[in-house]
Amino acid sequence: MRALAAPFFWLLLSAIVLLAIGGPRVFSPEPVAAPAQKAPKAAPAAMDLRAFLERGPACFTWNEMAGETPVEHYGGLIFVLRGEKIYSSAWYSKAKYARAWPLVSGIGTIDGETLFIAYRNAMGDPNHEFYHAACLFTFDPVTHAFHCEYMQKAEPNGPRVPGMARGAYVEHPGADFQMYLSAILMKADSPPVVAAEHPCPVLSHNQGKPEHALIYEEKEYRFCCKACMEVFQTRPEVFARRDEK
């Protein structure tokens, strides 16, 4: 009996010594640390429209809409801010019309989160000389996506009809934008081409017409189309001729 007790005694004594000097904790394992949680991504910051456009040319894709339904008519669009004027070009990638829809260029104004721009045919195509539209763009300050409402005249004696489009900002425009981007920058940074007589105050390379005229600060202004007259009326001080007595 004494022979059996001796090993048990030494085993018990060893266990006590190990516990005393911080040996293995057989019955109290270390708690497992919880995996580190990733910090949530910061929400994109809002930026007002002028600050956004002051960063440089802004490129967009657009899609014509019928209510909430996209129409098979879409393309690209560029805005360039110069002082108080907005220069723009728009073109189609796919047209819903039987004949090609023209490249259009426009000039307009900025007011808060909106742009008001008059567009005309930019290609000198006599089949499209009559084309013009007045477009009101409203922008989301976070995504910079736009909603556009416009009045468009697509035939010489046709009516002005309303329409709607939506646009998505293209942060890294590809080669399909480069030709249009070069052309609109050249236009924005060059002296305006002025018609010989009664130039339109908005699109100065077009002749103003007596049927599209108004008086501002005791001066008569003739416009090439009703769209330009409407753009002028949004901020007349931007387009008024200050060099005339």
What pLDDT does 11 receive?
A: 52
pLDDT band at 58 (very low <50, low <70, confident <90, very high): very high
pLDDT band at 245 (very low <50, low <70, confident <90, very high): very low
Cα torsion angle, 229, 235, 237, 238, sign: negative
pLDDT band at 26 (very low <50, low <70, confident <90, very high): very low
Taking the mean position of all CA atoms in its chain, how far away is CA 130? 27
What pLDDT does 150 receive?
A: 95
What pLDDT does 243 receive?
A: 47
Cβ atoms of residues 174 and 213 within 8 Å? no
What pLDDT does 32 receive?
A: 59
Higher pLDDT, 54 or 37: 54
What pLDDT does 88 receive?
A: 95
Residue (of 104, 101, 102, 93) closest to 184 by Cα position: 104
Q: Give the C-alpha distances (Å, rounded to integers) separating 213 from 35, 90, 200.
A: 72, 27, 10
What pLDDT does 125 receive?
A: 53
Please determine, for residue 74, whether its predicted confidence score (pLDDT) is greater than 80. yes
Read off φ and ψ for residue 2, nearest 5 degrees: -65, -35
How many Å apart are CA 115 and CA 113, to the nearest integer? 7
Tokens of 116: 């008001």
Q: 158-191: buried (b, 16+ CB within 10 Å) or exposed (e) per residue?
A: eeeeebebbbebbeebeeebeebbeebbebbeee
What pLDDT does 104 receive?
A: 87
Residue whose structure tokens are 């048990």: 8
What pLDDT does 10 receive?
A: 52
79-124 residue pLDDT tens: 999 999 999 999 989 988 766 677 888 999 999 999 999 998 765 5
DSSP states along 95-126: -SSSSPPPPEEEEEEEETTEEEEEEEESS--G
Phi-psi sector, 112: left (phi>0), alpha (psi -120 to 50), beta: left
Cβ atoms of residues 227 and 151 within 8 Å? yes
DSSP SS3 for 171: coil
What pLDDT does 121 receive?
A: 79
126-154 residue pLDDT tens: 555 667 889 999 999 999 999 999 998 87
Cβ atoms of residues 151 and 158 within 8 Å? no
How many Å apart are CA 105 and CA 146, to the nearest integer? 18
The least confident of 33-42, 168-177, 214-223 is 33-42
Higher pLDDT, 168 or 207: 168
191-222 residue pLDDT tens: 888 888 889 999 888 889 999 999 999 999 99
Query: Which domains, from first to last, does the chain contain?
Result: 49-188 (2.40.128.120)
